[in-house]
């Protein structure tokens, strides 16, 4: 039983993709920004500030550096094998089939659970906006059962609906996805810039002292605090940029365009995150965010007396998280499409609709599953699974660069990671540090998910693989 059979790059590049190539550099930059800027600013800054204090900006920087080094490795692989599949395809080339399946299995969890988690945050801002104009959704339909102690809830209807709407957009083609994403990214960037301009004048430097109240890593009352644990939390903000590399078969000149899209979107997003966190912790004492965990930006608006900005910020948050859901669902469908094409998932997920030139069936399958997860499941704990799955993917992609440089040093690369092998090793080290900031319960759930994946691989994927009879 050959568990480590590999796909050659020549074999991969021979494949004629039925997907339509329309994406250019700035489409990918907007796709990356759409994935990155959203939950981090509008939801996670509150919890992050309580964990790290004003030093939260350093936590964002650490998470961004981790993603940046990993992004360089993604960029080199994308220039070598410009096809759908992202880390799954790269692992297939470097390590072999079983490792590729495991990382593809992780990525499906990352994108689906990530999109479901963000849809819940989206629902919170959407409900607040409706209430501000006098519209009230029944409380029982605003959250999953058990989400808020003492409050009777059954189902998160807004979260369910937004996922289905986005699934419909993705299912009818990349052009529709691109235009919707570009428009919403421009609006949310405008909202963020307006927020920065209107609030920067209210910063009180005294609120930044002490800048790192809990140090780099510490325990208080049985909980973990500090810069590193906060970085592990806000790492969720950057999840999804790797979905840019999943668009290779729909991108014009992907060997050059995808590296640019990944790196430019990471740089722009990191700058905005650092500016926003410095402003928020400068205007408001970080301890106050305990009262505003679901909508931390509202703490700043309350402090500055700029209530008129609340509706605008809610719109920005809604659009910001909409683009995150869109990009993550898009990445999900392209990973499952690539795995089905290789025989590791049922053919159903790889069928391309002749009219829309998209994997229509797979798109709707995962869209409905994700919508149900957002509607019925309390995702407060499960969201950390997204972080550990993504970090595992980053480790394998970075290690894959080391393997490919050693085994195929003369291979044509449209983009080369500067400083290799040091750069991939730094990426791996950062990922391990962030994994160390996650709880043991997260590790246990991750192991269970991997065990389930291995059962699928040995029960179905290994026998149906395109490489089985070769």
Q: Are 318 and 129 in contact (CB under 8 A)?
A: yes
Cβ count near 290 (within 10 Å): 13
Q: Does residue 364 sit within a domain?
A: yes
* Domain assignment of residue 13, yes or no: no
pLDDT tens, the chain, 470 aa long: 566 777 776 766 666 556 667 778 888 888 888 878 877 777 778 888 888 899 999 999 998 888 888 888 888 887 777 776 678 888 888 888 888 898 888 888 778 888 888 888 888 888 878 887 888 888 888 888 776 677 788 889 999 999 999 999 888 876 667 778 788 888 888 888 998 999 999 999 999 999 998 888 887 766 778 898 888 888 877 876 777 776 777 778 777 788 888 889 889 989 999 999 999 999 999 988 888 777 788 788 888 887 778 778 888 888 888 888 888 888 888 888 888 988 899 988 888 888 877 888 889 999 999 999 888 876 655 566 777 888 888 888 899 899 888 888 777 777 788 787 888 999 899 888 888 777 777 788 888 888 998 999 999 888 888 776 55
Q: How many whole angstroms separate alpha carbon 87 and alpha carbon 103?
A: 7
Domains held by the chain: number = 1
Residue 9 is assigned to a structural domain of this protein? no
Helices (H), 172-226: 174-199
Q: Are 121 and 386 in contact (CB under 8 A)?
A: no
Is 470 among the domain residues?
no
156 Cβ neighbours under 8 A, 6+ residues apart: 119, 120, 123, 141, 142, 143, 144, 147, 374, 375, 376
> What's the distance, Cα to Cα, between the start and end of the chain in Å?
12
Residue 3 lies in a domain: no
Task: Tell me the chain's radius of gyration from C-alpha atoms.
Answer: 21
- Among 409, 403, 398, 391, which residue's Cα sits nearest to residue 446? 391
Closest to 401 measured CA to CA, from 86, 75, 5, 99 = 75
Task: Quote the CA–CA distance of 356 and 353 in Å, as a whole number.
Answer: 6
**Is the C-alpha dihedral spanning 238, 194, 301, 61 positive or negative?**
positive
Instruction: Report residue 264 as tokens.
Output: 């430019």
Contacts of residue 13, defined as CB under 8 A and 6 or more positions apart, other chains included, come to 81, 83
209-225 burial: b if 16+ Cβ within 10 Å, else e:
eeeeebeeeeeeeeebb
Element (H, E) at 313: helix 308-341
Tokens of 118: 């963000």
Answer yes or no: is 237 within a domain. yes
Say if 55 falls within a structural domain. yes
| Residue labelled with tokens 């969720």 | 236
Q: 109 near 386, Cβ under 8 Å?
A: yes
Alpha helices in 81-155 (DSSP H): 87-94, 97-132
Name which of 299, 279, 276 is nearest 287 in CA terms. 299
Give Cα 289 distance to the centre of its chain.
Answer: 24
Query: What are the backbone angles phi and psi of residue 404, rounded to the nearest 5°?
Result: -70, -35
Quote the crossing angle between the two packed helices 56-80 and 422-436, to the nearest 10°: 130
75 and 87 in contact (C-beta within 8 Å)?
no
Q: What is the pLDDT of residue 139?
A: 85
Task: Give the span between the Cα atoms of 133 and 330, in whole angstroms.
Answer: 32
Please check whether residue 1 lies inside any domain of the structure: no
Q: How many CB atoms neighbour CB 153 within 10 A?
A: 17
The CATH number of whichever domain residue 108 belongs to comes to 1.20.1740.10
Cα(44)–Cα(294) distance, integer angstroms = 8
CB count within 10 Å of CB 426 equals: 18
> Domain of 305?
21-464
Question: What is the tally of helices (H) and strands (E) in the chain?
Answer: 18, 2
Beta bridge partners of 251: 23
DSSP string, 431-444: HHHHHHTS-HHHHH
Which pLDDT belongs to residue 158?
A: 92
List residues bridging with 220 in a β-sheet: 223
Distance CA 80, CA 94 (A): 12
Residue pointed to by tokens 């550096």: 65
Cβ-Cβ contacts under 8 Å for 267 (sequence gap 6 or more)? none
Provide the pLDDT for residue 20.
66
Name the region of 221 (left: φ>0; alpha: ψ -120 to 50; beta: rest): left
Rounded distance between C-alpha atoms, residue 114 and residue 238, angstroms: 11
Q: Say what the pTM is.
A: 0.81
């Amino acid at each position: 039983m050959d568990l480590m059979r590999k796909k050659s790059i020549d074999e991969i590049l021979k494949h004629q993709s039925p997907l339509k190539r329309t994406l250019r550099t700035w489409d990918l930059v907007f796709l990356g920004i759409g994935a990155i800027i959203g939950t981090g600013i509008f939801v996670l800054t509150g919890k992050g500030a309580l964990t790290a204090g004003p030093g939260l900006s350093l936590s964002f920087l650490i998470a961004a550096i981790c993603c940046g080094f990993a992004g360089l490795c993604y960029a080199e692989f994308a220039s070598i094998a410009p096809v759908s599949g992202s880390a799954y395809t790269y692992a297939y080339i470097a390590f072999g089939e079983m490792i590729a399946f495991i990382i593809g299995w992780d990525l499906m969890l990352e994108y689906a659970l990530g999109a479901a988690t963000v849809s819940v945050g989206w629902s919170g801002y959407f409900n607040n906006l409706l209430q501000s104009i006098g519209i009230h959704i029944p409380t029982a339909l605003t959250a999953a059962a058990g989400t808020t102690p003492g409050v009777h809830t059954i189902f998160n209807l807004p979260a369910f609906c937004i996922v289905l709407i986005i699934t419909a957009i993705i299912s009818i083609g990349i052009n529709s996805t691109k235009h919707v994403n570009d428009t919403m990214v421009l609006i949310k960037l405008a909202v963020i810039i307006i927020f920065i301009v209107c609030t920067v004048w209210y910063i009180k430097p005294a609120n930044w002292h002490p800048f790192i109240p809990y140090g780099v890593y510490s325990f208080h009352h049985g909980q973990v605090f500090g810069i590193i644990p906060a970085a592990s939390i806000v790492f969720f903000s950057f999840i999804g940029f790797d979905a840019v590399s999943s668009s290779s078969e729909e991108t014009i000149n992907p060997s050059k365009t995808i590296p640019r899209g990944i790196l430019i979107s990471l740089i722009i997003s990191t700058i905005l995150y650092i500016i926003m966190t410095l402003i928020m912790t400068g205007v408001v004492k970080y301890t106050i965010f305990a009262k505003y965990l679901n909508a931390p930006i509202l703490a700043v608006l309350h402090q500055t007396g700029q209530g008129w900005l609340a509706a605008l910020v809610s719109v920005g948050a809604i659009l910001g998280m909409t683009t995150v859901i869109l990009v993550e669902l898009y990445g999900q469908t392209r990973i499952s499409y690539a795995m089905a094409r290789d025989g590791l998932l049922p053919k159903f997920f790889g069928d391309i609709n002749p009219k829309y030139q998209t994997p229509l069936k797979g798109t709707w399958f995962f869209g409905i599953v994700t919508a149900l997860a957002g509607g019925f499941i309390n995702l407060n704990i499960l969201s950390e699974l997204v972080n550990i799955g993504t970090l595992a993917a980053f480790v394998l992609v970075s290690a894959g660069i080391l393997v490919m440089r050693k085994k195929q040093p003369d291979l044509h690369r449209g983009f080369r990671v500067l400083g290799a092998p040091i750069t991939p090793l730094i990426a791996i080290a950062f990922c391990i540090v962030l994994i160390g900031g996650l709880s043991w319960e997260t590790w246990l759930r991750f192991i269970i998910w991997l065990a389930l994946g291995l059962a699928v691989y040995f029960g179905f994927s290994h026998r149906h693989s395109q490489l089985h009879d070769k």
